[in-house]
Each structure stands twice: as structure tokens, then as C-alpha cells.
Structure 1
Amino acid sequence: MTEPWLFTEAPAALAASSVTLMEGTTFCIGDRAGDLGGVDPGGLFVRDTRMLRVWDLTVEGRRPAPLTVHHETPYAAVHVGHLRLPAESGAHEIVVTRHRVVGDGLREEISLVNCTPRHRRVAMELAVASDLADIFEVKDGRAGESSLPARVIQPNHLRIEGVPDRGYGLVVVPDGAARATPSGISWTVDLGPHGSWSTILEVVVSAGGVVLEPHHPRDVPVREALPYRRRAEWWATAPRLDTPDARVRGLLQTSVEDLGILRIFDSDDPDHPVVAAGAPWFMALFGRDALISSLMMLPLSPELALDTCHVLAAHQGRQRDAVSEEEPGRILHELRLGPAGTLALGGGSAYFGSVDATPLFVVAVGQVARWSGPAAVTPDLLQAVDRALDWITESSDRDGFLSYVRKTPNGLRNQGWKDSWDGVNFADGRLAEPPIALAEVQGYVYAAFRARADLADALEGGRHAGEWRRRADDLKERFGQRFWLPDRGWYAAALDRDQQPVDALTSALGHLLWSGIVDLRLADQVVSHLLSPELFSGWGIRTLASSMGRYDPLSYHNGSVWPHDTALCVSGLARYGYTVEAARVANALLDAARVFDHRLPELFGGFDRATTGIPVPYPAACSPQAWAAAAPVEIMRSLLGLEPGQDGLECEPFLPDQMLPLRLDGLRWRGATYTIEVDPAGRHRMGPGS
């Protein structure tokens, strides 16, 4: 069996001209004409399965030439094309419009307009094909080009089914005038002089034996459908930013839009949305990604973190299963709904191969209490926190460090956020062998112990709070003794199976500052290395220093720049009082975002700024991607010095001059909204939101 979570190559990149629509776990990749068959990889994907591979339109055997594409919303687009058809009385020009919306299926309205004063009868055909390929097969280039057989069912519907006992398939539902054949749907259309004609089709899909209810039924206007209402509600609470800095204005607006796009709603629990990891290949719940993204979004949407914690608690490990790596108390790595993922999991949907999602879950619940109030942490949620802490204790090695080794050959070899096969390596380039105790994970555990102590103070009258703080202090001391490399002046990236320090210089230093586990006496050295030319590219912090043996600026985890990683470095620098350095790194990432049209990608090349002059895109980077979209919010929180205090929301800004004056309205804390104003001299005022 293949290893579905382990990618030795980058996922297939999308063509620059492709058009992508997204809504929940549905996405559609086509070309500018609206066809799906000419894009590789392309198609309509629902719940990790490619439902349509071909959806290609011809009129009189000719493909309309695309004129324009208008994105009405992230899930709706209008494709406009035209063609000139020869006729005895002169050429007929016909405009073809395809209005497509997606969401647990697809609805498309096709319109023809005769631009001439002459009558014309035309034949229109829509070729339809599906392979019901799993998303893992498509993004790894293993799906091939074969299609499943289709059959016509009454009256003129087209059905395509996969293996019966898996319950995946679709039905194309045209209007009454259409004709269906196993290859697609066709119409004969009479167009009077300057006349027009239109038709509507629906694609109704089945996944896992369940017929999904389309989010855009044909009898409901798009502006009245559920996705439109959800998007309107999301934007109603969006912040309003006024600053002369166009970088920040554009970036924050795009971030809010992208995070709204990436939200996924479980039909069984629609009141607790979470964010998918990234488009197009990771439109699923990933524990680590959802937690970090929601933590970054706390000032704008504290309920997102609460919803994320509730959903992850509901899927928390209950038993031991080597196939899925489930263990009691463990937080999942990802939730997959397609056939390949569930087969690899022995029929399940959750894979638990993550070492950091569990401590980050505890940290997130602690932050929920700070931003939404202790009452938001229900008894059930607190019990989930304690189960998570039990897992951390049971999974720690003999020296008390949380480590990982995969339980199944189908799982991830590396289970931290740098989860590529070569993501953990020594300075000379050798790969570290598991069990591996990552440095940043020990920082997350330290923060989790501190969070549990605060929860004890807020919810349990301080019972056991001292014990949790002692555990945190003990871990911090042991971490310093074992991970600090005095001859290098930085912390080891990890300890390997032989308890030897993995001596690579990595961006983990920033995560350690973010968590608070760095000894104050060593902070100057840590910051010096973090801002060194080896780690700081001028656009952001590299994942691996350029002086290391495996450094490659276009690798996935060994020298590239990840915006969320850099944002955590900014927060860590600010936490330890290095505001000048934090502002420098933040400014660099904001400059990069401007080059990327105000949308930070999942990652980009780690080339030196002085060498390339522009940030170099990484092939196949997800965009939008959840924690890249959330990174600008985290950077703004750091630059504003926002922290929940005992008596309210505290603010100590150190904004770069080009951002001033600044006004941010719509900050959220404990059910209230706030406005922050910072004048050109850097003086600030905070009050109730307008």
C-alpha cells in the first residue's frame, strides 16, 4: 500500500491560468473557458474524491474561446466565451456564458446569445466523465486518464458509480429538453435573431453511501443559499483597518476573505466550523493547522478557536490503534473522507500521526479562557485537556521529553510541523532517526503546562496550579540542560533516538521564544542567530539556515520561508522584548506579501533578498492556506502588543512608521469589540468599538 500522508515529491502544481472555486470540502479546478478536462490536475472534488474529471462544452463541435472570467464569490464564477460559426449568409457570432456555483455538488447555468439578426439552430454538447479518483491519487499524479462507465437513467439523467460498497458516485440532472448518452448531455437549440437561450444542470453527488444535499439547489437564488449567508455573517464581524500602509490594508482584507473561504462545516455539527488547512489539496481538518490558525485569529475571531477545540475534542483519541496511530487523549493529525485515506486507516477517517497537535490543543484551550472568558471552557473541554496531558506524559521518553516514532509504515516518518521525510536533520545533512524529540514540541509542552496552571486558577480555585507550574519550570530547566549547544550558541533542533542533539540551526528558535521556554540569559544569542544572514533571508526566517548541509532554498522544509513560521518568530521576539528585531522581520514579510498580491502563500523560496530582488514562489504551494492567511493577524497582534490582561485588553504598540497613523476597529475580547488608534507619534488609545 502507498503511504498516503507521506509525499516524497511536491503535489502537482496548478497552471497559472486555471480557475479554482471553493466551498467547504468542495473545490473545482478548471480552465478559463469553464472546462475541466483540459486542466491537469483538474476536476470537481467533493470530500476528497474527484467527482468530475471531464465537464467540457462544445457548440457545433467547437470549443468557445474564453473572453473573461468573473469571480462573483470564492464558490461562484461566470465564464464568458464566444465563437463564430460559418453560415451561408455570413458568420454567426454566439456568446456562451457559464455561471457555475459549487458546494457539496455543482450547479451550472449555460446561456447562449445570438449576436446576429439571423436565425440559427445549433447543437450543443457537454462531455461528462468521472474517475472517482481519491485526492491522494490525483495530487500525486497517479490517477491516470481512464474514466468509469456512465449509464443513462430516466428520464435523461446520467449516473456514474464507483465500487458499490463504497458509496461514491454522481448523477447529472439536466432540464427536460436535454438528451443523455453515456458520453454526456446534448441539446438542439433554436436561436432567433438576437435571441437567447439558457439551461440549468445539477451534479448531485454521493460520498460514503450518503447522497449530499447541494448547497445551491436550482430553485434557490445564489444570494439566498447557505454559502452566501455564511459569508455575509463572516464579513459582518470582520475588522476595519485604516492605515496609509497599502501592504497591511490589502493583506488583512485578503486574510479575512481567505479564512472565510477555508472554513468547513460538518453537516452533523454545523455550529462549530473549523478551517481547512489549504487549497486545493488540503481542504480537510488538520489538527495542527487548525489550532495554530485559530490561535493567530484570536483577536478577530475568538469563537473560531473555541469551535476548533470543541471539534478536536470530539475526535480525540479513545483507543489504541496502530493503523491510524490513535491513542487515548491524542489529538488527530488530519481527518480524511476519501476512499484511499479510509482504506489506509482500516475503514476509519482520522489519522493521529502528529506529535504537536496535542500540546497545542491544551495551549489553545488556555487561550480560549483568556480571550473568551473562563466560562467558555466547559467541563467536557477541560476533561479533554486532561486527557491530552495524560497522553503527553505517557508519550514522553525516560528524560521527560515528548517524542515520536510512527506506529505504521503507512504513516508519517516525521510528525512535527516539518513533516516531510527529510525535515529533521543534522548540521552536516544526516537525517535524524526516530524516536525524535523536537525542540519546538518541548516548548509547546511547556506552554501547555503553563496553560493548565492558568486554567486551574480560573476554573478550579487554584487546585494543582502550583504543581503544573512546577512541571513547566522543571521541563524548562531540563530542556536548557539537554538542548542548549554552548559551542554553537543555539538550541538543538531535536534529540534523536540515541539522545544525541540534532545540531542544525533552524527556525525552531523562534517557536521556542514564542512558547517562553528560552532562558532569559540565553535570549541574546538566540535572537542573534535568528536574525543572522543564515536564517533571515530579508523576506522572512528560513526553516533551515543556509550554512547547513541540507539547505535548499526551494525545498519544502529545508531552507524555504513559511509565513506562519516567520509570524511565530515575530511573536517570540516581541514576547522577549526584542521589538526592533520583531518589527524588522514583520516588515520583511509584509514586503513579500505585496509582491504576492497581498496573499501570502503556504511557503516561498529562501533565497537572499539581495540576490533575487523579489521573493521566489515555491511550486505547488497552497494558496490560500490557513496559517499563511492567519499570519498577518498574528503579526499585527504582535506589533500592537495586544494581550489579555487581568483588567482588560492590554496594548503596547511598536508599529513601523509607515503604518502610522493607524486605526483598527473590530478587535474582539470577551464578547466586546474594541478600537485601537495609534497616532503618528506612536501614542495609542483603546476604547469600545464603533
Structure 2
Amino acid sequence: MKPEELAPHTVVVPGVVSLAASSRRTLKHGDSFAMFDEFGDVFEVEHSPAGLFHHDTRFLSRLQFTLEGHRPMVLSSTVQPDNVMLDVDLTNPDLFDAGGNLLLAKDTFHIARAKFLWDACCYELFTVTSYSDVRRKLRLALDFGADFADLFEIRGYRRSRRGQVSARALGPSEVAFYYQSVDGLPRSTRLSFGPQPARLSAATTQGRAEFELDLAARERRPISLTVQCVEGNGALAAERRFFVMRRLARRVLAEAREQAPIIETSNTVVNSVLERSSADLAMLMTETPHGAYPYAGVPWFSTPFGRDGILTAIEMLWLEPQVARGVLRFLAAHQADDEDAGADREPGKILHEVRECELARLGEVPFGRYYGSIDATPLFVALAGMYWQRTRDEETLKAIWPHVKAALEWIERYGDRDGDGFVEYDRKRSSGLRNQGWKDSDDAVFHEDGRLAPLPIALCEVQGYVYLAYRLAAQLAVDMDDYPLSAGLMLKAEKLRRQFEETYWDDELGTYALALDGEKAACRVRTSNAGQVLFSGIAMPQRARRVAQRLFEADFYSGWGIRTVSRRERRFNPA
């Protein structure tokens, strides 16, 4: 979208980062994640999400390991298949003096780095092994730093103000960085080394630990580093023993794996895909006070998103219904109960995303608890109905039933803002998302000539979600002994289905229009949104077949998947 098309006071998060080009190694646990390079290091590169993050704040922005003043050579670097541990094998390069004489031959020393995240800490163990025939001395160093950068700041957002960082030694083997937060929440990073370094220093945002080893032939020496992310005052120091925490982590994760079902097929490729998917889902799954919730993705979206959590729960419902229980309880607990224009919040509406970073807490970005999602609310109702059909979990359904009814009330009162029978969105302030469907880029909804569609916008798939919500809620209402509500919802569903077919179907395109714009003009473009309509069941069978056939024609189907926009459309851009 061109800068001149942006409304005044729009919050701009620039697209300036390429993750595809990076050799990142990613770890996650709970509300923490870390991104390292193939050495296991963290390098400060502009707009790079490298480092250790907790609640979208970077607590470790630099970590560089050197051997005799040089970076080692990488032998191997692998995140284990279960996504828990990063293992890196390093060795020394050939080192020469100023006259070109060989001082240290390549492969004399082997360094194994192993690291994992647990409870807002990064635990790392260096195991240094000498393969020299004689006793040798070796100097190692770790340069480290903490900038407490906000994730939106790293993405390119220009913040108005930020706090100061200071450093202090807490003892001969421990240092801490302190951030004087603007939002009033104290944040600090504690680094603990074992054994005690020969020299340890830290000032402002940078520090250095130096080790001097004297190793006999074939001798092995461990060095540990614990990095703790601390929020608030009075936090207890973390357990520093690497193997103690590794045993704890393995035990907890093993118990979780034992509860998860295993799918195995006769095809090894399919099995590999299933194993990879299972490990990735396990990494994204995060325990909350309301149950497990699948976070949306690392690094930019390592937080609860309403739509993403609901759709993940729907797809996993047949296999792991407890995921849906956690999603439903979490979203019910965070359902809006008042109005806030800055957060696009209205009573009964379901959360779009929640952030705990400083910029969100200050309100510089509107995503602290943001509700700018048009589809999360009907999808929440639909998930509740599906979960009830799958589990008959009376305790959960009775707990969330008032929230389901509040969501239905939102659809009627706020979703259909102009009373035309369709649910549409429009942001309350320019700082919110312009487009609030699953395609939420600023230029996602447009006309066949390329013009952007004016707000408010009624997406085709959202009408399908509302239809599905009505039907499933009607069944729920019967089981909750609310027969008048059930009958009313069935009538609304059938009325919506007829009106949808009359308004959205475009026989010339052979599919449903993408949306209705603010002037009730149809966006006559071919998009995969019509495929989402099929999932809801609102489409007439004969038209559903035509949509499915269209999605597999050459302008849509690439061989790798279905394009979100037909390549025949004016705004098609595969980049």
C-alpha cells in the first residue's frame, strides 16, 4: 500500500525483515523464545529478531563465543527433532602468529554447545574437550549484551521514548542488566556462569566473561551459562544447574508426549511430515491459567491470537479435544465486556491478539488486548458447538455458555452494524487494523480494477462463519434447554443462507465475490476466500462444486497449493 493511502495516525509496522535469508535456530518455551545463528550465537543486526525474548521483549541481544580471540568453526548445528534442544559442535580453526607460524592446529579442541529454554531462562552448557597430545592452555570468551528492545521496535516501529539500561556485577560469577522501563514494569537480565570466569565485566548494555583453561590431553571441561529473564521486583534466582533443569524439562515433556496420540502410516514421507508437525505444534502450545493455547508463531506472533487458536483447535478437535477446551476457556476469560474504540473492543467480542511488551502496555501500539478481528467471534461460537458435539464436556460448556450467548449478541448488535443482514468490519480509529479478516494486510480487499474497497467491508467467508455459528449454537441451545433461542437461530441461519446466495454469487466468475464494500458494491475478484465458504456449509451444493473446481484451475492452483488470489487479478503479487 502506498504511503499516501494511509490514514493519519496509522500505526505503521514496516516490513523490513527477511527471515528466509537467515540461518536461524529457534527455541521456545512458554512466553519465551530465542533465535540463534548456526554457531549458537546472537548477533545484533538491524531489524533482526535474534536474541532471547520474553513477553515480546529482548532480554539478551548479544552473545558471541570466541576461542583465542577468533570465532570457531561449525561442525554441526541442529535443533533436535522435538524442538527442545539446540546442539552445536564447534572446533578451533588453524591459528597463526604475525609471522605466519602455526600456533594452534585445526581440530585440536572440540566444543559442544547445548542449550534449551525453560521457565523464562536459557540454560546452556559448553563442553570443551582437548584432543591435543600434550597439556595446553586455552582462552575462551563470551561477549554478551541486553538492549530490552520491544519486538515492534525491532520490526521497524519508531517509538517515541525508551528507558535506560544499566549493568551491575552481582558477584564474581554473575552480572545483571537492568532496564528502567517507561511502562513502570521493572525488567532485568541475570547471567550466571559456572565455574567462575577469570574475568567478568559489564557496563551499560554490554558485558564480557573470559575463561582460561589448562587442559591435559583428552581432558574435558564444562562451562555453564544461565540467562534469566526477570519481570518485576523480588524474583527468585533461577536454578543454575544445567542437568537438573534438563532432567526436569525432559520429564515434563515426556509426560506431555505420552498423553498425545501418535499417528503412523505406511508412508515414510507422510510419517516425517506428521512428526515434524507434531513437534512444531508442541513447541507452540503454551500453558495458560485456562489451559493449553497454541501460540500463532515465532518470532513475530509468539502470543495468543483468537482466530489462529480457534482454527488450530478445530483442526485438532478429532485428535486432541483438550486443545479446544484451553482455547475456549482462554478466549471466554478475555472476552470483551465494554467498549474501547482504540482497541476495537465491544461487549461480547472475541480477542484478536494480546501483547505484554512495553509498547503495547504504553498504548503506543494498540495490540495490548486488541479485538480487531471480524471472524474470531463467530468462530468462537462454532468451536463451542463442535467441542460439545465431540466431548459432551458439560462442565466446560456450562462455564462458557454465557460467553457464547454474549458472542451471539455481539453478532446481532455490533457485527451487523447497518442491519443489512451481513456482518462487516470497520476500525474505530486509524491506529487499528484496516482489514480485519484473515487477510489483514492493508491492500487485501480490492475491486477488479485494483481499487481498494472502502470500509466497512463484509467478507464472504465471514458470512459463512456466522451461518455455521448460528446452526451449531442452535443445537447447543437445545441441550441447554433454551428452545426459543434455538428456533430463532435456525431461522436466522436459513435467512442468511438465502440472502448470501442472492448477493455474493457471481455466475460470470464462477465463484463467490470476495466481499461487499462500504457502498454495498461487490468486490468481483477471484480469491481463495470462497474456499473458506465451503468449510462453513453455507454454499449451495452445486455452487460449492463449481468453487472447488475453480480453486484447482491453473490460475489458482500452483502445484504447491492454492493461491490466495488468482494470478489473473489486477493485484496478484506472489512476492
State TM-score, norm by structure 2: 0.88
Q: Establish whether residue 311 from structure 1 lines up as the match of residue 330 from structure 2.
A: yes
* 1:223 to partner: Cα distance: 4.5
Cα 1:230/1:295, change in 2 over 3 Å: farther
Query: How many residues align structurally?
Result: 546
Quick one: distance in 1 between partners of 2:497 and 2:516? 15
Q: Provide the residue aligned with 1:193 in structure 2.
A: 217
Secondary structure of 1:502 counterpart: coil
8 Å Cα contact 2:49/2:299 also seen in 1: no
Q: Provide the residue aligned with 1:151 in structure 2.
A: 168
8 Å Cα contact 1:274/1:307 also seen in 2: yes
Deviations 1:338-382 (A, max 9, x none): 112222368983111111111100001011101111525432201
Cα 1:31/1:487, change in 2 over 3 Å: closer
Quick one: distance in 1 between partners of 2:241 and 2:130? 25
* Equivalent of residue 78 in structure 1, options 69, 80, 87: 87
Q: Provide the residue aligned with 2:493 in structure 1.
A: 472
Q: Establish whether residue 205 from structure 1 lines up as the match of residue 190 from structure 2.
A: no
8 Å Cα contact 2:180/2:186 also seen in 1: yes
Q: Establish whether residue 94 from structure 1 lines up as the match of residue 100 from structure 2.
A: no
* Equivalent of residue 250 in structure 1, options 259, 272, 278: 272
Q: Establish whether residue 30 from structure 1 lines up as the match of residue 36 from structure 2.
A: yes
8 Å Cα contact 2:14/2:156 also seen in 1: no
- 1:229-308 superposed matches below 5 A: 229-266=251-288, 269=289, 272-308=291-327
8 Å Cα contact 1:69/1:80 also seen in 2: yes
Deviations 1:95-114 (A, max 9, x none): 12222111312111122222
Quick one: distance in 2 between partners of 1:10 and 1:370? 45
Secondary structure of 2:41 counterpart: coil
- 1:176-575 superposed matches below 5 A: 177-178=196-197, 179-182=199-202, 183-207=207-231, 211=235, 217-218=240-241, 221-226=244-249, 228-266=250-288, 269=289, 272-344=291-363, 349-395=368-414, 396=416, 397-460=418-481, 462-554=483-575
8 Å Cα contact 2:166/2:179 also seen in 1: no
Q: Provide the residue aligned with 2:58 in structure 1.
A: 50
Q: Provide the residue aligned with 2:15 in structure 1.
A: 9
* 1:142 to partner: Cα distance: 6.6
The share of aligned pairs that are identical, in percent, is: 32
- Which residue identity is paired with 1:79? V
Secondary structure of 2:142 counterpart: strand
8 Å Cα contact 1:331/1:352 also seen in 2: yes
Q: Establish whether residue 137 from structure 1 lines up as the match of residue 161 from structure 2.
A: no
Secondary structure of 1:221 counterpart: helix
Quick one: distance in 1 between partners of 2:22 and 2:136? 36
Quick one: distance in 1 between partners of 2:9 and 2:36? 28
Q: Which moved more, 1:531-540 or 1:383-392?
A: 531-540
Cα 1:230/1:274, change in 2 over 3 Å: farther
8 Å Cα contact 1:205/1:212 also seen in 2: no
Quick one: distance in 2 between partners of 1:120 and 1:481? 83
> Which runs of 5 or more structure 2 residues have no equivalent in the other structure?
1-7
Deviations 1:49-89 (A, max 9, x none): 11111111112212211111243441311211111556999
Over aligned residue pairs, what C-alpha RMSD do you find? 2.7
Q: Provide the residue aligned with 1:638 in structure 2.
A: none
8 Å Cα contact 1:14/1:41 also seen in 2: no
8 Å Cα contact 1:129/1:148 also seen in 2: no
Quick one: distance in 2 between partners of 1:405 and 1:265? 33
8 Å Cα contact 1:493/1:506 also seen in 2: yes
Cα 1:141/1:63, change in 2 over 3 Å: farther
Quick one: distance in 1 between partners of 2:86 and 2:212? 25
Q: Provide the residue aligned with 2:3 in structure 1.
A: none
Q: Provide the residue aligned with 2:72 in structure 1.
A: 64
* 1:91 to partner: Cα distance: 3.0
* 1:219 to partner: Cα distance: 6.1
Quick one: distance in 1 between partners of 2:9 and 2:53? 21
Q: Establish whether residue 114 from structure 1 lines up as the match of residue 130 from structure 2.
A: yes
* 1:333 to partner: Cα distance: 0.7
Secondary structure of 1:122 counterpart: strand
Quick one: distance in 1 between partners of 2:236 and 2:370? 24
State TM-score, norm by structure 1: 0.74
Cα 1:174/1:213, change in 2 over 3 Å: closer
8 Å Cα contact 1:374/1:458 also seen in 2: no
Quick one: distance in 1 between partners of 2:502 and 2:141? 71
Cα 1:427/1:7, change in 2 over 3 Å: farther
Cα 1:518/1:90, change in 2 over 3 Å: closer
- Which residue identity is paired with 1:189? L
- Which residue identity is paired with 1:488? L
* 1:257 to partner: Cα distance: 1.4
Quick one: distance in 2 between partners of 1:59 and 1:219? 22
Q: Provide the residue aligned with 1:21 in structure 2.
A: 27
Cα 1:358/1:240, change in 2 over 3 Å: same
* 1:313 to partner: Cα distance: 0.5
Secondary structure of 2:221 counterpart: strand
8 Å Cα contact 2:347/2:410 also seen in 1: yes
> Which runs of 5 or more structure 1 residues have no equivalent in the other structure?
555-690
Quick one: distance in 1 between partners of 2:233 and 2:155? 24
- Which residue identity is paired with 1:107? Y
* Equivalent of residue 124 in structure 1, options 130, 135, 140: 140
Q: Provide the residue aligned with 1:626 in structure 2.
A: none
Cα 1:310/1:210, change in 2 over 3 Å: farther
Secondary structure of 1:323 counterpart: helix
Deviations 1:449-471 (A, max 9, x none): 01110101223264521111111
* 1:209 to partner: Cα distance: 5.8
- Which residue identity is paired with 1:23? H
* 1:276 to partner: Cα distance: 0.7
8 Å Cα contact 1:287/1:332 also seen in 2: yes
